[in-house]
Amino acid sequence: MSKQLLLGDEAIAQAALDAGLSGVYAYPGTPSTEITEYIQMAPITTEQNIHNRWCANEKTAMEAALGMSFVGKRALVCMKHVGMNVAADCFVNSAITGVKGGLIVIAADDPSMHSSQNEQDSRFYGDFSLIPMYEPSNQQEAYDMIYNGFEFSEKLGEPILMRMVTRLAHSRSGVERKEQKPQNGISFSEDPRQFILLPGNARKRYKVLLARQDEFIKASEESPYNTYTDGPNKKLGIVACGIGYNYLMENYPEGCEYPVLKIGQYPLPQKQLYQLIESCDEILVLEDGQPFVEKQLKGYLGIGVKVKGRLDGTLSQDGELNPDSVARAVGKENKAEFCIPSIVEMRPPALCEGCGHRDMYITLTEVLKEEYPSHKVFSDIGCYTLGANAPFNAINSCVDMGASITMAKGAADGGLYPAVAVIGDSTFTHSGMTGLLDCVNENANVTIIISDNETTAMTGGQDSAGTGRIEAICAGLGVDPTHIRIVVPLKKNYEEMKQIIREEIEYRGVSVIIPRRECIQTLARKKRSK
Amino acid sequence: MKKDIILSGVGGQGILSIATVIGKAALKEGLYMKQAEVHGMSQRGGDVQSNLRISDQPIASDLIPSGKCDLIISLEPMEGLRYLPYLSSDGWLVTNETPFINIPNYPESDKVMAEINKLPHKIVLNVDKVAKEVGSARVANIVLLGATIPFLGINYEKVQDSIREIFLRKGEAIVEMNLKALAAGKEIAEKLMQ
């Protein structure tokens, strides 16, 4: 079959489709979004009725996928790294229940925080959940790992975690496809209590998982994704994980002078590591993200062979790897011939001209800054986080999905007035609803603005789970309907908007204001496709 | 054959459409290719770039090392300057001359041009003006692509074929306009190089 030009994300999607996928479950998040989008657009998805709708959040996605695995079918769960925190309850327990149908979880990490709040390394999740992990170095490897990974998951009876990083997720290269496999039929575990994690049963299942760790290590030792390449210079041995391997080889086009152990599957392959450590004076670990492998090799006391990497300053402890930082780590230098002229200014992203969030922030800041100088605004994750920048300078916090409402509540509990929350519609249904229930149960004195653009805009305009039902959800959770106010954020409505904001700040209790106007990007796209 | 290219501009200007045409043409030549893109937050009017690597040998890194880039293609003059540390001593900057001003502290245009003029190898053209002359402001990207033809290392006919394939579903008139835009850009670059 000829090669197709695919993003790393698309290679994963195509491999899952080719491997007989029955359903993808995901919430959008950069850099993982394109996996689900590719599956949604693929003709086979409609033909074979493969589940592909977006989920409310990563936890519902993970649970639904485990349910699909429970009936013997192959399921894929995709999320950005911070989504792992949301899905973690089910994810960690799925290692204890084990799986029936193949289950692969994709965690797309974002070292250097191109579009994220932290650079947590998802390999730690796989490690303490005690399950095998993949970390591809290129698009073809990502394809092969997923294509064969479902069978591997079924053979082991465990979910598999694949750790991606932004640079691979969003880089295109030629990928060769394999033959299309059929979907699994329905089947169930022979053990009717496998998925019942009552303590008595969970203890048994946990012992089973622990007893299988040696088997997982052996699988890593035999894995085609972990390769040992000898080199003549034994002063250094290099462990290169995922795309760290690419940056190393970029600096050695004729082959590396040092022995190199390339890692693509975890737990770490013991046999090859012993071989490297026994034959080399020092070890250098190249890994994108946090010093996960480096810490394991070094140990707490740092006794034994000298291990270099991010912890000893050979590489920076933060930020993604690149060909230049890896060159320096092996004593080379890629010299710049020109420098950036001092006149070049930063160009941060900004809310689009004509965006409804702009109208919301303009009116909100006018009322708050002039009439309520003691105010604080707790915001959330989405395009409207850009309200932090000029000319708005409108928000005081942005922490995690849904935290606007609950942080406003906590601050109001502590005596702040007015405590205002600004959250988008998709983030509200992702993780804001439960916080609103807390507010209602205590009649917290908060003013919550759900800036509704009827889409998940920041990630490119995916369906939002509560479109058309935001006010009904708020009323259902117990917000007094007279304090649920809907307004169209347009310049001609500024006076009305400001009056509503005033009235609801003056109301001592839970109020929700919903400025609602479709995202101009999705609107433009709809017009273009007509 | 090995070409390391950085495409730069402002989110929404459409640098990826240039990459798509080059990528398709490279595949037609049977070359290896890697293309790292930027998605997500910075697409909202922020600075965006794409690393495009083409070679007749397998390519290791998705990112271009410092000082190794053969060609910077920029839809915006200041954005082209942002990636100069990657440009090799004999590399070329091919850039649009029209600034995209969406920040309050954008430098004076003269100063931007002065910095560009310091470079030993550059092609500066007004792609928007040329595009309008050809028929539509929407082909500005292809005018810029045309101006890179002398340095691209890919057969001109292959680039033309790639444009034909990509724009085929939009009709013959659109294909022709894009081919005209490509030729116009190429002609300007060739004149400037003389």
CB B61 to CB A340 under 8 A? no
Say what the pLDDT of residue B41 is.
Answer: 65
Q: What are phi and psi of A94, to 5 degrees?
A: -65, -20
What is the pLDDT averaged over residues A5-30? 97
A339 to chain B: closest CA residue: B85
Class of the CATH domain delimited by A3-211 = alpha beta
Domain ranges within chain B, ordered by starting residue? 2-193
Angle between helices A33-41 and A8-18 (to 10 degrees): 50
User: Is B52's Cβ below 8 Å from some Cβ in A?
Assistant: no
Say what the pLDDT of residue B28 is.
Answer: 85
What residues have CB less than 8 Å from B171, skipping those under 6 apart?
none
Among A5, A168, A334, beta carbon nearest to B62: A168
State both tokens at B44: 């909202």
User: Is B42's Cβ below 8 Å from some Cβ in A?
Assistant: yes
Torsion angle, CA of A278/A282/A288/A292, rounded to 10 degrees? 60
User: Is B180's Cβ below 8 Å from some Cβ in A?
Assistant: no
User: Is B22's Cβ below 8 Å from some Cβ in A?
Assistant: no
Tokens 């798509």: give the residue. B20
State both tokens at A88: 């973690």
Split at pLDDT 50, 70, 90, the class of B42 is low
Q: What is the ipTM of this complex?
A: 0.94
What is the pLDDT averaged over residues A316-342? 97
Please tell me whether residue B96 adopts helix, strand or coil conformation: strand
Closest CA to B182 of B174, B192, B170: B174
Question: In Å, how far is B179's CA from the nearest CA of chain A?
Answer: 23
What is the pLDDT averaged over residues A348-357? 93
The pLDDT > 70 percentage for chain B reads 98
Measured at the alpha carbon of residue A141, what is the angle toward residues A139 and A147, in degrees to the nearest 5? Answer: 105
Cβ–Cβ under 8 Å, residues A461 and A372: no
CB B87 to CB A338 under 8 A? yes
> Residue B44 pLDDT more than 80?
no
**Using one digit for the tens of pLDDT, what is the confidence trace for A34-59?**
999 999 999 999 999 999 999 999 99
What residues have CB less than 8 Å from A369, skipping those under 6 apart?
none
Give the mutation candidate from B31, B42, B47, B61 for the A interface (greatest A CB count, under 10 A).
B61
> Residue A133 pLDDT more than 60?
yes
Cβ–Cβ under 8 Å, residues A39 and A52: yes
Q: Taking all residues of chain A, what is their mean pLDDT, rounded to a whole number?
A: 97
**Using one digit for the tens of pLDDT, what is the confidence trace for A82-110?**
999 999 999 999 999 999 999 999 999 99
Among A170, A340, A343, beta carbon nearest to B111: A343
B32-36 and B69-74 strand pairing: unpaired
Check the CA dihedral A438-A442-A445-A447 and report its sign.
positive
Say what the pLDDT of residue B14 is.
Answer: 83
**Using one digit for the tens of pLDDT, what is the confidence trace for B84-141?**
999 999 999 999 999 999 999 999 999 999 999 999 999 999 999 999 999 899 999 9
CATH fold of B2-193, please?
Answer: Pyruvate-ferredoxin Oxidoreductase; domain 3 (3.40.920)
Among B10, B61, B67, beta carbon nearest to A336: B67
**Using one digit for the tens of pLDDT, what is the confidence trace for A419-458?**
999 999 999 999 999 999 999 999 999 999 999 999 999 9
What is the pLDDT averaged over residues A264-290? 97
Check the CA dihedral B148-B149-B153-B158 and report its sign.
positive
More confident residue, A66 or B40: A66
A265-266 and A133-134 strand pairing: antiparallel
A255 to chain B: closest CA residue: B60
Strand segments, DSSP code E, in A249-357 are: 260-263, 265-266, 282-286, 306-308
Say what the pLDDT of residue A528 is.
Answer: 83
**Using one digit for the tens of pLDDT, what is the confidence trace for A190-248?**
999 999 999 999 999 999 999 999 999 999 999 999 999 999 999 999 999 999 999 99
**CA distances (Å), origin B189, targets A172, B52, B77:** 29, 21, 16
Class of the CATH domain delimited by A356-526 = alpha beta
Say what the pLDDT of residue A510 is.
Answer: 98
Domain ranges within chain A, ordered by starting residue? 3-211, 227-329, 356-526
Size of interface A-B (CB pairs under 8 A): 152
Q: Taking all residues of chain B, what is their mean pLDDT, rounded to a whole number?
A: 94
Alpha helices in A27-182 (DSSP H): 33-41, 43-47, 58-70, 83-97, 123-129, 139-156, 166-169
Closest CA to A429 of A57, A12, A155, A65: A57
> Residue A387 pLDDT more than 70?
yes
CATH fold of A227-329, please?
Answer: Rossmann fold (3.40.50)
**Using one digit for the tens of pLDDT, what is the confidence trace for A1-14?**
578 889 999 999 99
Give the mutation candidate from B32, B34, B44, B53 for the A interface (greatest A CB count, under 10 A).
B44
**Using one digit for the tens of pLDDT, what is the confidence trace for B153-187?**
999 999 999 999 999 999 999 999 999 999 999 99
Tell me the C-alpha distance between B45 and B83, whole Å.
Answer: 18
Question: In Å, how far is A115's CA from the nearest CA of chain B?
Answer: 6
